[in-house]
Amino acid sequence: MKKIEIAVCGAHMRGLPLNHQLLALGGEFLREAKTLATYRLYVVPHKEPARPGLVRDGSSKGEIELEVWALPIENFGAFMTQIASPLCLGTLWLEGGERVCGFLCESEGVKGAQEITSFGGWRHYLASL
């Protein structure tokens, strides 16, 4: 069975509110990883459950922790239909130079949003609340 790797950095991570979407579609946790230090992380406003938005902007702010999952390729479309704007999937660059499909956020979706890059990841941000 062919699978596609998908990096998740927020509510789809293990034990968080949207992880069930990956599990229901046959998703399998592969590993923890970090992005290159060219991303910023924000709290996406007006989303329930709360979730972050990852934006690549080329600045060197710090790596963001995430999880890499494998999803059967035949379930990829069903997963895509569950992703709410301004979130989307695109290419993420991981430390070490690896590229993987993963969650990103349209820059318009984080205008005026709280930046949480300094926490290094969504779980660290949640722990601070």
Cα–Cα distances in angstroms (integers) from residue 76 to residues 85, 99, 123, in the given order: 17, 18, 25
pLDDT tens digits for range 14-27: 999 999 999 999 99
Whole-structure pTM value? 0.94
For residue 61, pLDDT over 80 is answered with: no
Q: What structural domains and CATH numbers belong to the chain?
A: 3-128 (3.10.490.10)
For residue 47, pLDDT over 90 is answered with: no
Sign of CA dihedral 117, 70, 83, 55: positive
Query: Confidence band (pLDDT; 50, 70, 90) for 92?
Result: very high
Cα–Cα distances in angstroms (integers) from residue 59 to residues 32, 38, 67, 101, 103, in the given order: 23, 5, 22, 21, 18
Query: Confidence band (pLDDT; 50, 70, 90) for 59?
Result: confident
Contact 3, 70 (CB under 8 A): yes
For residue 55, pLDDT over 90 is answered with: yes
Q: Which pLDDT does position 58 carry in this prediction?
A: 79
